[in-house]
Amino acid sequence: MKIRVDLSGSAKDNSYDILIGSGIVNAEAAGEVIDVIKQAGLKGRACVITTETVNGLYGRLFKNFLKNARIEPVVLVLPDGESTKSIKYLSYIYDELIKNRFERGEFIIAFGGGVIGDIAGYAAATYLRGINFIQIPTTLLADVDSSVGGKTGIDHPGGKNLIGAFYQPKCVIIDVNFLDTLPERELKNGFAEVIKYGAVLDGEFFIYLENNYEKILSRDKDGLTHIIRRSCAIKADVVNKDEKEAGLRSVLNFGHSLGHAVETLYNYKTVKHGEAIAIGMIFASMVSEDLGFCTGETLNRIKTLIKNSGLPAKIPGFTPVEYINAMKLDKKVESRLIKFVLVKEIGGFVFKELDFDYIHEFLKKIL
């Protein structure tokens, strides 16, 4: 099944398809997946950027898939983990692209989770002032969020995702079968972003998640396919309306203000992105209740779904000052205000600029 990211205005030409299926990336692939690749313009040579784990599990299958599609790969295998999303590995990718004389008409293929998608996408956005790239995600988080919408970038010791660009892929190919080997913790990690869509953008979807989380987390293929399709459709709709985050797209940052601070305070180790976002969503919902935007019942439902999914639900015990200092690194900070996404009952949201004094007092109260 296909979902279109249909960009408007001068970005119209950057529109693209997301193809979702089960077992579509294989050595005898034919039909829709090959059509999508052709329509994206991918032919000849491509630089495949992946990680050790993904290469170990699927390197051979992927090479055969590309061979069948008549694409000759140059494979770059990067270490696993968030610390790969760094200037060091970006520089390594540039070195290899230059060494192998990649040209403007050629492609980068991001084959892995969000870390690979973000760094490979940023390399594509900047090498030769931009070469083509496609996303073939292999984690739930990348399926439902990072592979779609064109946010690319790397981390800086001073903060997460501080260096980056909006740069859309030419297509996204999601094969649910890759999730068969995904560790349980990573599956739950991606599920946090799925909860995000339901909590602030689609109340019915949230109810579906409340009723089906066990089935989904036990890797029921239909359940997984449904949540990936719905999440991509919700995200595509938001990106179609506001590609460069001038307004509406910020809603996708629900849970991210405190979430990014948690990641920073843990030095991008210990806690995973989705886990940090789960904590951040609970915090944002607590603030929403405190400011009268949602009821205690809404807060409880969000907390319960997060807890039931096996995601962390407790705000870590850093001090309010540590949180505030980490939050000040956020891209959404202006003077002493930070733009928060709050939940306005399940399926709805409101943007609110919050003063750091208020956040400090609130943190003091709850920690």
What positions carry a catalytic annotation? 129, 151, 193, 235, 245, 249, 253, 256, 260, 273
Interaction between residue 202 and ligand GLY (CB under 6 A)? no
Which of ligand GLY, ligand NAD, none lies near 17, with the C-beta cut-off 5 to 8 A by kind?
none
Interaction between residue 252 and ligand GLY (CB under 6 A)? yes
Shortest spacing between CB 236 and ligand GLY, in angstroms: 11
Which of ligand GLY, ligand NAD, none lies near 132, with the C-beta cut-off 5 to 8 A by kind?
none
Shortest spacing between CB 296 and ligand NAD, in angstroms: 29
Q: For ligand GLY, give the closer residue by CB, 5 or 173.
A: 5
Shortest spacing between CB 357 and ligand NAD, in angstroms: 29
Shortest spacing between CB 254 and ligand GLY, in angstroms: 9
Which of ligand NAD, ligand GLY, none lies near 249, with the C-beta cut-off 5 to 8 A by kind?
ligand GLY
Which of ligand GLY, ligand NAD, none lies near 97, with the C-beta cut-off 5 to 8 A by kind?
none
Shortest spacing between CB 136 and ligand GLY, in angstroms: 18
Q: Is 54 left (phi over 0), alpha (psi -120 to 50) or beta?
A: alpha
Residues 44 to 63 in contact with ligand GLY, rule: CB under 6 A: none
Phi, psi of 82 (to 5 degrees): -60, -30
Interface with ligand NAD (CB under 6 A): 51, 53-54, 57, 80-82, 85, 112-116, 118, 138-139, 141-142, 145-146, 149, 151, 161, 178, 181-182, 186, 189, 273
Quickly count: other Cβ atoms within 10 Å of residue 9's Cβ. Answer: 6
3-class DSSP assignment, residue 47: strand
DSSP per residue over 86-138, as a string? SHHHHHHHHHHHHHTT--TTSEEEEEESHHHHHHHHHHHHHGGG--EEEEEE-
**324 touches 359 (CB < 8 A):** yes
- Written as six digits, the tokens of 289 are 């209740």
Residues 219, 213: Cα–Cα separation, whole Å: 10
Residues 110 to 149 in contact with ligand GLY, rule: CB under 6 A: 145, 149
User: Cα dist. 148→4, 53, 114, 118, 238 in Å?
Assistant: 10, 22, 10, 11, 11
Residues 234, 214: Cα–Cα separation, whole Å: 22
Amino acid at 26: N
The DSSP secondary-structure symbol of 313 reads -
Residues 351, 335: Cα–Cα separation, whole Å: 17
Q: For ligand NAD, give the closer residue by CB, 38 or 88.
A: 88
Q: Which of 249, 272, 301, 332 binds ligand GLY (CB under 6 A)?
A: 249
Size of the site for ligand GLY (CB under 6 A): 5
Shortest spacing between CB 306 and ligand GLY, in angstroms: 18
3-class DSSP assignment, residue 168: coil
Interaction between residue 255 and ligand GLY (CB under 6 A)? no
Q: For ligand GLY, give the closer residue by CB, 192 or 354.
A: 192
**257 touches 358 (CB < 8 A):** no
DSSP per residue over 223-264, as a string? HHHHHHHHHHHHHHHHHHH-TT-SSGGGGGGTTHHHHHHHHH
Q: For ligand NAD, give the closer residue by CB, 24 or 54.
A: 54
Q: For ligand GLY, give the closer residue by CB, 188 or 249.
A: 249
What residues make contact with ligand GLY under the rule CB under 6 A? 145, 149, 151, 249, 252
